[in-house]
Amino acid sequence: MIVLRLALKSLANRWLTALLTVAAIAVSIMLLLGVEKVRVGARQSFADTISGTDLIVGARTGSLQLLLYSIFRIGNATNNITWASYDEIRQQPEVAWAVPLSLGDSHRGFRVLGTTTEYFTRYRYRRTHALELVAGKPFDDLFDAVVGAEVAASLGYKVGDRIVIAHGLGSVSFVEHDDKPFRVSGILARTGTPVDRTVHVSLEAIEAIHVDWQGGGRVPGQAISADEVRKMELKPKAVTAALIGLKSRIATFRLQRAINDYPREALVAIIPGAALQELWGLVGIAETALAAVSWMVVATALLGLATMILTTLNDRWREMAILRSVGARPATVLGLLSAEAGLLTLAGVLLGTALTYVGLVVARPLIDRLYGLHLAIDPPTWGEIGTLAAIVLAGVIAGLVPAFRAYRLSLADGMTVRT
C-alpha cells in the first residue's frame, strides 16, 4: 500500500507526462478493441448475408462459385437449371418454399436479378431481418423493377424513374433492351448485403426482354414491342439457381444428397452457412493483418511507457537516493517504478475501453445506415478481458526495465552532485 501511495503521489507531481502516456495507451486500446469489434461485426455480417435458407441449388460447379454468383453476384454460372428440374425439386415433400433466381443481365454496372415476389418475403439476413422497402412496392407489373439501396443512391433513382436493362455484364454496354424499358416501383432499405447492389425484376420480365433475342443479340427482322410481349406466355425455360427452405432441417443432408445425385441433369446443392465459412477462410486474412497492426500499436505505446519512465530517471536520481537514505530498500524502489507503470497502463486500458464503447454507441447507427455493418454492443468477452489483463501485466513488465536500473543505483551515486 505504501508503494502504491508513493506511486500515485509521484505520478501526480508529473501529471502532464502521465496524462499523455495514459492517452497514448488509451488510443492503442481503442484501436485494438475497435478492430476486434469491427472484425467480429464483419465476420457476423458476412455469415449473416443470407439466413433462413437451408440449401442453394445450381448447376454442378464448386460450392464457392455457386455461392459467389447466386448470393454475391460475382462471376457467372457454368450452366442453368431447367424449369422442369426446378419445379420437381420445389415439389419435394421436404421443401417448404423455393425461390428461383435468374442472372445474366445488368444495369450500369449493377447486376439484374429475375425472381418472384416471394424473394422479398423469404430472403433473410442477420438471422431474422427481412427485406424492407423504404419507398414504393414490389413489382406487380411486367416491367416493374425494385432497386437496392446502393443502386438508388449511386444512380439517384426514385420511384417512377425509367431504367433500361443491358444484355450481359459490365458498367458500359452497347447491347441494351431499350425497346422494353422498366419503371422503378420500389427501393429497398440498406442491408449491407449484395441485395443493395442489385436490380430486381420478375422472371417473366427476363423472358419478355429476350423473346426476340438469340445468341446474345436481336433476331434480325424480328422486333416484338412491349405491348405485344404482354400478351405472350412468358413461362421461364430455365433459371440460374434457387433458394430452398425446408420444413425440417433434419432433412437437409438427405435432400442435398438427392439433388447432388439428380439423374436428369448435373446439379449441386450447398448449405449456405458452410460455404460462407469456407469463403471467409479465404478472404479473412485481412482481419489477421488488422489485428497485427493493432498489436504493434499497443507494443509501441508500452515501449513509449518504458521510455518515459526511463527518461524521467535522469531527473529523479536525488529522489531515489532520498528514499534509500530514509530506509527504503532497493526492492521498494523497484516496486515503486513498476507500480507507476502498472497504474499508467491500467488507467490507459480503462480509459481506452470506455472510449471504445462510447464510440460504438455514437457511430453504430451511422455505420449501419451507410455500410450495413452491424456492430454489436456487448460486454467485453472473457477473451477480451484476458487480453486487457495481459496488456496491464505487459505494462508492469515494461516498467521493470527502468526499475531494474534504479534498483542498481547505489546511495552514494544518488547523493553525488551531477555536473
DSSP track, 403-417 = HHHHHT--HHHHHSP
List the pLDDT tens digit at each of the 419 positions of the chain: 666 776 777 777 777 778 888 888 888 888 888 888 887 777 777 777 888 899 999 999 989 999 999 998 888 888 899 999 999 999 999 999 999 999 988 898 899 999 999 999 999 988 888 999 999 999 989 999 999 999 999 999 999 999 999 876 655 555 777 788 999 999 999 888 899 999 999 999 999 888 876 665 566 666 777 788 888 888 899 999 999 999 998 999 999 999 999 998 999 999 998 888 888 777 667 777 777 877 888 888 778 777 776 666 655 666 666 666 666 666 676 777 778 888 888 998 999 999 999 988 888 888 776 666 777 788 888 888 888 888 888 888 877 777 676 666 544 454 455 55
- The answer to whether 399 and 70 have CB atoms below 8 angstroms apart is no
- Give tens-digit pLDDT for 103-152: 988 898 899 999 999 999 999 988 888 999 999 999 989 999 999 999 99
Distance CA 387, CA 377 (A): 18
160: cell is 417512377
Exposure string (b/e) for 268-291, b if CB count within 10 Å is 16 or more?
A: bbbbbeebbeebeeeeeeebeebe
- Per the rule left: phi > 0, alpha: psi between -120 and 50, beta: everything else, 119 is alpha
Distance CA 404, CA 409 (A): 9
Exposure string (b/e) for 356-384, b if CB count within 10 Å is 16 or more?
A: bbeebeeebeebbeeebbbbeeeeeeeeb
DSSP state of 350: H
Q: Which of 328, 88, 63, 99 is nearest to 195 (CA)?
A: 99
215: cell is 445468341
Distance CA 175, CA 380 (A): 54
Tally of CB atoms within 10 A around 245: 16
Exposure string (b/e) for 113-150, b if CB count within 10 Å is 16 or more?
A: bbbbeebbebbbbbeebebeeebbebbeebbbbbbbbb
- Say if pTM beats, i.e. exceeds, 0.75: no
Distance CA 184, CA 164 (A): 10
Half-sphere exposure of residue 118, counting CA atoms within 13 Å on the CB side?
Answer: 13
Element (H, E) at 267: strand 267-270
SS3 97: strand
Element (H, E) at 198: strand 198-202
Q: 267: which strand partners? A: 59
131: cell is 427485406
Query: What number of helices (H) and strands (E) belong to the chain?
Result: 15, 17
Cα 81 to its chain centre, rounded Å, is 31
- Give tens-digit pLDDT for 144-202: 999 999 999 999 999 999 999 987 665 555 577 778 899 999 999 988 889 999 999 99
Q: Where are the domains of the chain?
A: 2-46+286-415, 55-270
Q: Which of 239, 155, 227 is nearest to 145 (CA)?
A: 155
Strands 213-214 vs 217-218: parallel, antiparallel or unpaired:
antiparallel
Q: Find where cell 490507459 sits.
A: 348
